[in-house]
Amino acid sequence: MRVLFIAAEMAPFAKTGGLGDVVGSLPAVLRRKGVDARVLIPLHGPIKAAFGDRLEHLFTFAFSRRPGTADVHIYTTEQDGVPVYFLQSWPFFGEGDAIYTDLNWDRERFIFFSQAAMAVAWELGQGHHGGEPWMPDVLHVHDWHTALIPFLLHEARFQPGWEDVASVLTIHNMAYQGWDAGGYLWMAGVPGRHDPHLIYQNKTDNLLGIGIIYADKLNTVSPRHAIELHYPRFGEGLEGLIWVRDSDLVGILNGLDMEHNNPETDPALARNFSWRTFRTDRIENKRALQYEFALEQRDDAPLIAIVSRLVEQKGMDFAAEGLRWVLAETSAQLIVLGTGKPEIEEQMRRLEWDFGWKAKVYIGYNAALAQRMYGGADMLLVPSRYEPCGLTQMLAMRYGALPVVRETGGLADTVVNYDNGPADQGTGFVFLWEEPEAVRHTLRWAIDTYRNRRAAWERMQERGMRIDWGWERPVRQYIALYEQALAKVGRGQVGLTEIRQPH
Ligand code: ADP
């Protein structure tokens, strides 16, 4: 089975969030399972700057569409055994210092990318790149940037070679849709989207909406979020289309790189530990962390951490208010690592000004520090308003910090609430309301548990640390999804094979 991932981001080349993480890790795992997965992303300017010397020119072709003909250059490299193709074409891709620009320009660029991606798939299928012909069986597209492709595929299906190619759309974030793209689509020569659901719901110009209707199969990145997308609160105006495709939508939790994120070997930690040794060894990481943040080195003071983008989606505005209470009422210490909206950064800084001896805020991005915080803090607060999957709560559990989370999306699927007794179940603390009071009282409950029920606390730590968050299970679910998508276009079993070298 040949699967071409087509996306705006892929870690480590270009990443702003979960989308980049998934495209950066899932294809390699798929290949180990016998799926010939490859990736096509734009050659963003920053990729050229940072990875230019690794890229090899593969082929160039003339790509024609209504506004004219463009030269498309395809570069390639291999990442974790995955062939990655980079698309360069002026003026859309190949320069600039950012992955995304403003919405007007981005809509034009990604419509072009989607159209050109179809042509790249075709060129690969013809063997024009000088290698063996490689026509994908499945086009796996992600978020609004490439959500036009299922429609382009639908239109191409009457042509030989395309009739049994299937599409899968993964929704990582419903809040960005590529709205009002009608004019750009017309200019780019994209034919009318005549699906009646799109027409009656007035979504023929919404790129993500188009993908939702035309993709053969859909998924989002947690089972709970798949349910949430059916409702206005999370569907962001596309919930009506989600209902139309209800039977083709599933939630597949993102996996975690369990090797890279392993407290037994993580070089970022002051002291490595495992679920067998954390009861004695983990405390050194807490002390080191307190030292690093210039906090009093007290073993008994509960240490609350936040590692997050500081934006409303993450609930950081009301969390800051709730934390103000907790800092005033308890001996808990707080450490914050994040960047984001200036107003929310300011809110966090004010906590440090007012409670400087017990609250420290690091505005910035620091991957090693994030690992040390998971490995040394007692709790990680994740009060998101919505969270399609979320990785930080899984990382916290893996590293023995108990997550305190709002019950939404992947947080609801991964954190089991404490039973308030011996912790025969539970891996953290869960609340529902998006209110400072909920943050305040849930944290106080967690702090009480930390103080007075050590055995229960440690059982929760151990349980969290022993969970396997790896890609093994999600990858099987993705393979099943590809098979279902292929069945929809009339293909029987498309075997998993020994994978040939790409070129
Ligand atoms: P999202 O992708 O919505 O930002 P996730 O929880 O899915 O949230 O992933 C966030 C990832 O980014 C985690 O790996 C987390 O450790 C990391 N991260 C977030 N903010 C920072 C920061 N300021 N410094 C270092 N790592 C961060």
Query: How many domains, in total, are found in the chain?
Result: 2
**Measured distance CA(503)–CA(501) in Å, rounded:** 6
Do 433 and 477 fall within a single domain? Answer: no
Residue 262 lies in a domain: no
Do 311 and 455 fall within a single domain? Answer: yes
Q: What is the Cα 463 distance to its own chain's centre? A: 25
Residue 171: per-residue pLDDT: 98
How far is ligand 1, taken at its centre, from the CA of residue 308, in Å?
Answer: 5
Do 440 and 483 fall within a single domain? Answer: no
Q: Which of 132, 126, 124 is nearest to 74 (CA)?
A: 124
Residue 502: is its pLDDT beyond 60? Answer: no
User: Strands 68-79 and 82-88, how do they pair?
Assistant: antiparallel
| Atom 8 (ligand 1) nearest CA | 390
Do 124 and 24 fall within a single domain? Answer: yes
Ligand 1 environment, Cβ below 6 A: 17-18, 307-309, 337-339, 365-367, 370, 389-392, 395
**Measured distance CA(85)–CA(40) in Å, rounded:** 5
E-state strands within 146-302: 166-171, 217-220, 249-251
Residue 498: is its pLDDT beyond 80? Answer: no
Q: Which atom of ligand 1 is nearest to the CA of 369?
A: 25
Do 230 and 298 fall within a single domain? Answer: no
| Atom 7 (ligand 1) nearest CA | 390
Residue 355: is its pLDDT beyond 90? Answer: yes
Residue 496: per-residue pLDDT: 77
Residue 291 is encoded by which pair of tokens? Answer: 């030292």
Over the stretch 189-235, which tens digit does the pLDDT of each residue have? Answer: 999 999 999 999 999 999 999 999 999 999 999 999 999 999 999 99
How far is ligand 1, taken at its centre, from the CA of residue 42, in Å?
Answer: 23
How far is ligand 1, taken at its centre, from the CA of residue 337, in Å?
Answer: 10
Do 249 and 300 fall within a single domain? Answer: no
How far is ligand 1, taken at its centre, from the CA of residue 364, in Å?
Answer: 11
Residue 440: is its pLDDT beyond 70? Answer: yes
Identify the CATH number of the domain in which residue 334 sits. Answer: 3.40.50.2000
The pLDDT-based confidence of 178 (bands split at 50, 70, 90) is very high
Tell me how crowded residue 239 is: count the other CB atoms within 10 A of its CB.
18
**Which one of 260, 391, 395 would you pick to mutate in the ligand 1 pocket, going by the greatest count of ligand atoms within 8 A of its CB?**
391
Do 238 and 341 fall within a single domain? Answer: no
How far is ligand 1, taken at its centre, from the CA of residue 16, in Å?
Answer: 9
How far is ligand 1, taken at its centre, from the CA of residue 481, in Å?
Answer: 27
Residue 503: is its pLDDT beyond 90? Answer: no
The pLDDT-based confidence of 117 (bands split at 50, 70, 90) is very high
DSSP state of 56: E
**Which one of 16, 173, 309, 386 would you pick to mutate in the ligand 1 pocket, going by the greatest count of ligand atoms within 8 A of its CB?**
309
- Return the residue matching tokens 């509960």: 302
Residue 470 is encoded by which pair of tokens? Answer: 């790896």
Residue 129: per-residue pLDDT: 84
The pLDDT-based confidence of 130 (bands split at 50, 70, 90) is confident
How far is ligand 1, taken at its centre, from the CA of residue 396, in Å?
Answer: 12
Residue 495 lies in a domain: no
Do 147 and 229 fall within a single domain? Answer: yes
Which range marks the domain in which residue 24 is found? 2-255+471-488
For residue 91, say if its preceding peptide bond is cis, omega within 30 degrees of 0: yes
Over the stretch 441-452, which tens digit does the pLDDT of each residue have? Answer: 999 999 999 999
How far is ligand 1, taken at its centre, from the CA of residue 267, in Å?
Answer: 19
Residue 324: is its pLDDT beyond 80? Answer: yes
**Measured distance CA(136)–CA(440) in Å, rounded:** 51
Residue 154: is its pLDDT beyond 60? Answer: yes
Do 26 and 47 fall within a single domain? Answer: yes
Residue 91 lies in a domain: yes
Q: Which residues contact 223 (CB under 8 A, 6 or more apart)?
A: 250, 251, 252, 253, 413
Residue 501: is its pLDDT beyond 90? Answer: no
For residue 83, say if its preceding peptide bond is cis, omega within 30 degrees of 0: no
How far is ligand 1, taken at its centre, from the CA of residue 380, in Å?
Answer: 12
Q: Which residues contact 6 (CB under 8 A, 6 or more apart)?
A: 39, 40, 41, 114, 117, 139, 140, 141, 142, 146, 149
Of 70-74, 129-133, 269-273, 353-357, least confident by mean pLDDT is 129-133
Residue 325: is its pLDDT beyond 90? Answer: yes
Q: Which atom of ligand 1 is nearest to the CA of 254?
A: 7
Do 430 and 479 fall within a single domain? Answer: no
Do 213 and 68 fall within a single domain? Answer: yes
**Which one of 143, 256, 308 would you pick to mutate in the ligand 1 pocket, going by the greatest count of ligand atoms within 8 A of its CB?**
308
C-alpha dist (Å) from residue 190 to 155, 195, 282: 10, 14, 58
Do 83 and 216 fall within a single domain? Answer: yes
Over the stretch 306-319, which tens digit does the pLDDT of each residue have? Answer: 999 999 999 999 99
Residue 273 lies in a domain: no
How far is ligand 1, taken at its centre, from the CA of residue 392, in Å?
Answer: 7
**Which one of 307, 310, 337 would you pick to mutate in the ligand 1 pocket, going by the greatest count of ligand atoms within 8 A of its CB?**
307
pTM higher than the cut 0.75: yes
Query: Can you tell me the mean pLDDT for 477-503?
Result: 83
| Atom 24 (ligand 1) nearest CA | 365
C-alpha dist (Å) from residue 390 to 13, 303, 307, 463: 21, 21, 12, 19
